Amino acid sequence: MAEIKVGIIMGSQSDWPTMKEAATILDELGVVYETRIVSAHRTPDRLWDYGKTAADRGLHVIIAGAGGAAHLPGMMASKTRVPVVGVPVQTRALSGVDSLYSIVQMPKGFPVATMAIGAAGAANAGLMAAGILAVSDPALAARLDAWRTALAASIPEEPTDD
């Protein structure tokens, strides 16, 4: 069985429709991952345990999505040296700007690679994780190149009315 190198974690079940976009990209690229609900506020012990064991379990990248007072990505970054890619989940009250600001303004020493708000950010988090793994995985690098080529080929040269 392939080693799990990517963890997709999220603050709530309600984040899954967004975070699924990252999972879909990783499925397309043949990258094995695990998914967990890990809330900075509701399950802090779970966050601690996940961060404490992440490197030893062989994780190479953690994609962390949360909304509102989105402390999960930053707290995870403080607990593990495994690179954390943060996804600001769109919120109803403040459209995800709250999530973005909560995730992006990390203090020096504990970086979170922060993506765009919402579905595009989650998809890009999947691509970012794949890109990181592809540095030392030529087969994945070839699949990622092919994915990018196919995306470029799908863009029409001229706009149409319909």
Q: Report the number of secondary-structure helices (H) and strands (E) in the chain.
A: 6, 5
Closest by CA to 130, choosing from 16, 2, 33, is 33
Residue 143 marked in a binding site: no
From residue 79 to residue 118, what is the string marking binding to ligand RP5 with x (rule CB under 6 A)?
A: ----------x-----------------------------
Amino acid at residue number 40: A
Handedness of CA 20, 23, 29, 30 (dihedral sign): negative
Q: How far is the CB of 103 from ligand RP5 (least distance, A)?
A: 11
CA-CA-CA-CA dihedral for 8, 13, 15, 19, to nearest 10: 30
Q: How far is the CB of 90 from ligand RP5 (least distance, A)?
A: 9
Closest by CA to 52, choosing from 22, 13, 44, 5, is 44
Q: How far is the CB of 120 from ligand RP5 (least distance, A)?
A: 17
Residue 136 marked in a binding site: no
Residue with smaller CB distance to ligand RP5, 14 or 24: 14
Q: Which residue minimizes CB distance to ligand RP5?
A: 11
Chain positions 23 to 62 lying near ligand RP5, rule: CB under 6 A, are: 39
Residue 92 marked in a binding site: no
Chosen residue from 7, 51, 68, 74 binding ligand RP5 by CB under 6 A: 68
Residue 146 phi/psi, 5-degree rounding, is: -65, -40
Q: How far is the CB of 102 from ligand RP5 (least distance, A)?
A: 10
- With a CB cutoff of 8 Å and minimum separation 6, the contacts of 141 are 134, 135
Which residues would be at the binding site for ligand RP5 (CB under 6 A)? 11-12, 14-15, 39, 66-68, 89
